[in-house]
């Protein structure tokens, strides 16, 4: 049973340890699916997530909201060592731009 409007965040990668492809879902980090092809790994993890969601719903559990459907404010706090903060502030001052713009630029690279 695969949901028609499945909006979860999937990734398929090679597992050297298992010598197979592994399908993963960011919203369900405890779930994975191993297969010999990337296509089968994706199909397997999508099916497993659909079954997990159905099980959670039948038990009145809270189902994770897909990352793609969440609203983000664009604000978050990051703690850095004082010397990093100082160096970024100097770079911003020397460039004539805000500290926020320097950090945002570095994060988006």
pLDDT digits (tens, 9 = 90+) for 8-18: 999 999 999 99
CA distance 82 to 86: 6
In order of 75, 95, 107, the CA distances from 99 in angstroms are 14, 10, 12
Kindly report the backbone phi and psi dihedral angles of residue 103, in degrees, each rounded to the nearest multiple of 5, phi listed first.
-65, -45
**Measuring CA to CA, which residue among 49, 47, 31 is closest to residue 39?**
47
Q: So what's the pLDDT on residue 47?
A: 96
Kindly report the backbone phi and psi dihedral angles of residue 8, in degrees, each rounded to the nearest multiple of 5, phi listed first.
-75, 165
- pLDDT tens by residue, 64-79: 999 999 999 999 899 9
Q: Which two tokens stand for residue 61?
A: 């559990």
pLDDT-derived band at 5, boundaries 50, 70, 90: low
3-state DSSP of 18-29: CCEEEEEECCCC
- pLDDT tens by residue, 25-47: 999 999 999 999 999 999 999 99
- pTM for the predicted model, two decimal places: 0.73
Q: So what's the pLDDT on residue 7?
A: 92
What is the greatest pairwise CA distance in the chain?
58
């Amino acid at each position: 049973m695969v949901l028609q409007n499945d909006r979860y965040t999937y990734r398929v990668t090679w597992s050297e340890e298992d010598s197979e492809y592994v399908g993963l879902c960011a919203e369900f980090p405890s779930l994975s699916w191993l297969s010999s092809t990337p296509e089968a790994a994706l199909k397997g993890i999508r099916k497993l997530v659909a079954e997990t969601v159905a099980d959670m719903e039948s038990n009145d559990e809270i189902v994770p909201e897909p990352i793609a459907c969440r609203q983000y404010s664009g604000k978050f706090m990051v703690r850095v060592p004082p010397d990093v903060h100082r160096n970024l502030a100097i770079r911003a001052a020397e460039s004539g731009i805000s500290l926020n713009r320097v950090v945002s630029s570095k994060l988006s690279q």
